[in-house]
């Protein structure tokens, strides 16, 4: 194969690696951004003030995790908080028993995208005889429920006494956030307070953006009975952790692809030095220092990277832009991942990410070009002139 | 050592490892070459001609003895100093021309000046002047592949003299050329020797070259057999 063809083959493989690395990183960044946006919109808001005993990962903590924090009235009525009361219950859809979380929420809230207004949408005839509930698609699918279906739920009130009532599914919402959906029934807050005897009580407050930066959550919080404020960064930690784990896997793929491309450049460099021994000897005879010859060959190798970036730009920009416009469809099962994944992930390409990928490709190419070029430093010019260096 | 000596070799030995022992390529060489000489080192293959030129050209170092070229002791030069000596003071002409195939004739000749960081207008003037000396100004844009052997060697001569070195080392410059071209290139070098005062030192066993030389040093088995003025 001629030098020209070999060069362009190397450049093509490297440009593929370059674009794929950007795509993978963009996909993860897009997922991260999308997961955070959806989780903020549907579940966490911009902060959470929770009962000191509340642990979202420990259902046994829910029975004691309710109270009245004594927040200022203007905070409670300012539209920047949503009170949520949580208790465990059993539901009996279609003759089966399902463990669920009963979550009470104000039907009039607008801070979260959760369609709590549907809780007021039951027809006049049945309103008052049944408890309205909204559920997510995952819950509906697993329990075999559809809008208008009725089922019995059983719970224990504040005194530990069992009680049961019938609920009617007022609506089924679709969300990318499984943690507000799977195994959960959303009912009116005041109804949950009434049936559990937890009058005026709350398990946690979702805090809106405007209130998240308030001084209410810093300093002495004894006035809130030790309630714990969790800032947005901490609430997003799970998503960050999962995305970081995925990034590890994708980095391995990117690394392997980059290695293949760099191996080709390395091979070409070795071949080039082998073939051009006389030329190297001539450079030295003409007065070029060995360091300059090494630099010349290193730069020649690095030009592969620059050409690859240029080529990658030519075919990568249209492709990545198209993927950014259309998004990457996710498989049906992705909604059971336990983390917010949309039907489509829109890759997000930041300038910092693109520049860091460019730097990665250039620097690694520089290194693999330098390693064989370093051999020049140890050669005897007289042997190089005769073509007997290697 | 005479006042105008530019190459002085004293008790020079060069040995190469060969199997378990060593092979002595040069033995007790004592020679001086003055400014403006047009001299040749003559001898059969393996007599040490190229090794001697390589040492004078600071591409190699002696095992024993001293080699002083343009006031620099080759034995003690660092790689960088040796490169500077070749860059500023010595021009090379090789048997196989050693032109850079991807460059044009002009660029091949210019290359030597690029290493000296000479300004572009000055480079252009000197490159064209050198090409005119060797009669190839009209082939400046050609690539070596399109030139004949004689033309290639003339480009190599232009490349060697473009930086106006004090010393030009020509290793078997006519070995790959026919009779007419051999005469032509040696005559060219002789003219440059006269006009520029450049010292030319050949290694050759070509009778056609020898007839133009002012001084011939005969090497046999690495030792000077005869040193005569013509």
Q: Please tell me which residue of chain A has the smallest CA distance to B53.
A: A382
Containing structural domain, residue B191: 5-229
Q: What is the pLDDT of residues B147-165, one digit of tens each?
A: 988 899 889 999 999 999 9
Residue-wise DSSP of A244-255: HHHHHHHHHHHH
| Residue owning tokens 């819950």 | A139
For residue A164, pLDDT beyond 60: yes
Percent of chain B at pLDDT exceeding 90: 66
Cα–Cα distances (Å) from A13 to A75, A299, A312, in that order, read 59, 19, 10
Interface check B126 vs A, CB under 8 A: no
- B98 closest CB neighbour out of A282, A287, A291: A282
Q: Please tell me which residue of chain A has the smallest CA distance to B114.
A: A288
Q: For residue A345, what is the enclosing H or E element?
A: strand A344-345
Chain B residues whose beta carbon lies within 8 Å of the beta carbon of residue A279: 98, 100
Question: Which tokens is B203 given?
Answer: 């290694």
Q: Give A307 to chain B, closest Cα distance, Å.
A: 19
What pTM was estimated for this model as a whole?
0.70
Dist CA B51 CA B67 (whole Å): 13
Q: What is the pLDDT of residues A184-203, one digit of tens each?
A: 999 999 999 999 999 999 99
Of B105, B138, B111, the residue nearest B123 (C-alpha): B111
Q: What is the pLDDT of residues A216-269, one digit of tens each?
A: 877 766 667 788 889 999 999 988 888 788 878 888 888 888 888 888 888 888
Q: Does the distance separating the beta carbons of B86 and A285 come in below 8 Å?
A: yes
Chain B residues whose beta carbon lies within 8 Å of the beta carbon of residue A300: none
Query: Where residue B1 falls among pLDDT bands split at 50, 70, 90?
Result: very low
Cα diameter, chain A: 103
For residue A171, pLDDT beyond 50: yes
Lowest mean pLDDT among A132-146, A365-379, B98-112, B202-216: A365-379
Q: What is the pLDDT of residues B164-179, one digit of tens each?
A: 999 999 998 888 778 8
User: Which positions ≥6 away from A271 have C-beta within 8 Å?
Assistant: A6
Q: Give B62 to chain A, closest Cα distance, Å.
A: 13
Cβ(A137)–Cβ(A296) under 8 Å?
no
Mean pLDDT value across residues B195-209: 88
The predicted pLDDT at position A332 comes to: 62
CB-neighbour burial class of residue A117 (10 A; exposed 0-12, middle 13-18, buried 19+): middle
Of residues B168 and A332, the one with the higher pLDDT is B168
Q: Chain A to chain B, count of Cβ pairs less than 8 Å apart? A: 51
Cβ(B109)–Cβ(B131) under 8 Å?
yes
Q: What is the pLDDT of residues A67-125, one digit of tens each?
A: 988 888 877 888 899 999 999 999 999 888 999 999 999 999 999 999 999 998 887 77
Q: Does the distance separating the beta carbons of B100 and A279 come in below 8 Å?
A: yes
Q: What is the pLDDT of residues B109-124, one digit of tens each?
A: 999 899 888 899 999 9
- What is chain B's mean pLDDT, rounded? 91
For residue A356, pLDDT beyond 60: yes
Interface check B60 vs A, CB under 8 A: yes
Query: Where residue A317 falls among pLDDT bands split at 50, 70, 90?
Result: very high
For residue A377, pLDDT beyond 80: no
Cβ(A15)–Cβ(A309) under 8 Å?
yes
Q: Does the distance separating the beta carbons of A286 and B159 come in below 8 Å?
A: yes
Dihedral angle over CA of B137, B138, B139, B142, nearest 10: 120
Of A227, A280, A268, the residue nearest A387 (C-alpha): A280
Tally the domains of chain B. 1
Provide the terminal-to-terminal Cα distance of chain A, rounded to the nearest Å. Answer: 21
A interface residues, B as partner, C-beta within 8 Å: 278-279, 281-282, 284-291, 380-382, 385
Chain B residues whose beta carbon lies within 8 Å of the beta carbon of residue A385: 59, 94, 98
Mean pLDDT value across residues B11-25: 91
What is the three-class DSSP state of B112?
A: helix
For residue A337, pLDDT beyond 70: no
Kindly report the CATH number assigned to the domain that includes residue B220. 3.40.50.300
For residue A38, pLDDT beyond 50: yes
- What is chain A's mean pLDDT, rounded? 87
Q: What is the pLDDT of residues A199-223, one digit of tens each?
A: 999 999 999 999 888 888 777 666 6
């Amino acid at each position: 194969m001629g030098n020209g063809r070999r060069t362009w083959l190397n450049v093509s493989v490297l440009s593929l690696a370059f674009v794929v690395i950007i795509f993978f990183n963009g996909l993860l960044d897009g997922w991260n951004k999308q997961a955070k946006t959806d989780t903020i919109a549907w579940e966490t808001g911009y902060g959470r003030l929770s009962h000191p005993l509340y642990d979202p990962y420990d259902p046994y903590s829910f029975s004691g995790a309710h109270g009245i924090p004594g927040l200022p009235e203007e905070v409670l009525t300012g539209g920047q908080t949503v009170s949520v009361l949580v208790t465990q219950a059993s539901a009996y859809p279609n003759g089966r028993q399902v463990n669920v979380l009963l979550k009470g929420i104000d039907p009039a809230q607008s801070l979260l995208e959760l369609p709590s207004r549907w809780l007021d949408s039951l027809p006049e005839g049945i309103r008052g005889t049944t408890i309205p509930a909204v559920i997510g698609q995952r819950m509906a699918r697993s329990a075999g429920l559809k809008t208008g279906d009725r089922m019995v739920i059983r719970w224990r009130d504040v005194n530990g006494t069992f009680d049961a009532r019938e609920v009617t599914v007022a609506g089924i919402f679709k969300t990318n956030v499984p943690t507000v959906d799977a195994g959960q029934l959303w009912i009116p807050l005041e109804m949950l307070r009434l049936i559990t005897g937890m009058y005026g009580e709350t398990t946690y407050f979702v805090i809106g953006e405007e209130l998240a930066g308030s001084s209410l959550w810093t300093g002495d919080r004894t006035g809130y009975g030790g309630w714990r404020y969790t800032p947005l960064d901490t609430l997003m930690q799970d998503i960050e952790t999962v995305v970081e784990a995925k990034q590890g896997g994708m980095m391995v793929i990117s690394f392997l692809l980059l290695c293949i491309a760099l191996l080709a450049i390395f091979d070409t460099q070795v071949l080039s030095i082998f073939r051009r021994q006389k030329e190297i000897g001539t450079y030295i005879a003409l007065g070029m220092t060995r360091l300059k010859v090494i630099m010349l060959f290193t730069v020649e190798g690095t030009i592969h990277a620059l050409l690859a970036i240029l080529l990658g730009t030519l075919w990568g920009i249209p492709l990545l832009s198209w993927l950014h416009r259309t998004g990457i469809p996710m498989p049906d099962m992705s909604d059971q991942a336990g983390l917010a994944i949309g039907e489509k992930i829109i890759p997000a390409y930041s300038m910092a990410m693109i520049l860091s990928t460019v730097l990665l490709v250039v620097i690694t190419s520089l290194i693999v070009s330098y390693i064989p070029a370093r051999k020049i430093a140890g050669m005897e010019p007289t042997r190089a002139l005769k073509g007997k260096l290697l | 050592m005479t006042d105008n000596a530019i190459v002085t070799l004293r008790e020079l030995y060069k040995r190469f490892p060969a199997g378990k022992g060593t092979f002595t390529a040069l033995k007790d060489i004592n020679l001086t070459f003055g400014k403006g000489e047009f001299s040749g080192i003559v001898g059969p293959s393996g007599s040490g001609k190229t090794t001697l030129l390589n040492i004078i050209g600071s591409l190699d170092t002696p095992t024993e003895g001293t080699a002083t070229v343009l006031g620099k002791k080759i034995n003690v030069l660092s790689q960088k100093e040796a490169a500077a000596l070749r860059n500023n003071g010595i021009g090379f002409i090789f048997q196989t021309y050693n032109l850079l195939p991807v460059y044009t004739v002009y660029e091949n000749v210019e290359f030597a000046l690029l290493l000296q960081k000479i300004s572009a207008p000055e480079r252009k003037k000197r490159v064209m002047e050198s090409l005119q000396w060797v009669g190839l100004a009209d082939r400046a844009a050609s690539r070596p592949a399109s030139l004949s052997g004689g033309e290639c060697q003339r480009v190599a001569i232009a490349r060697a003299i473009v930086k106006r070195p004090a010393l030009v080392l020509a290793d078997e410059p006519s070995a790959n050329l026919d009779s007419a071209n051999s005469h032509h290139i040696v005559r060219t070098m002789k003219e440059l020797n006269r006009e520029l005062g450049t010292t030319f030192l050949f290694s050759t066993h070509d009778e056609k070259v020898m007839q133009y030389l002012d001084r011939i040093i005969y090497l046999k088995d690495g030792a000077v057999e005869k040193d005569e003025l013509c």
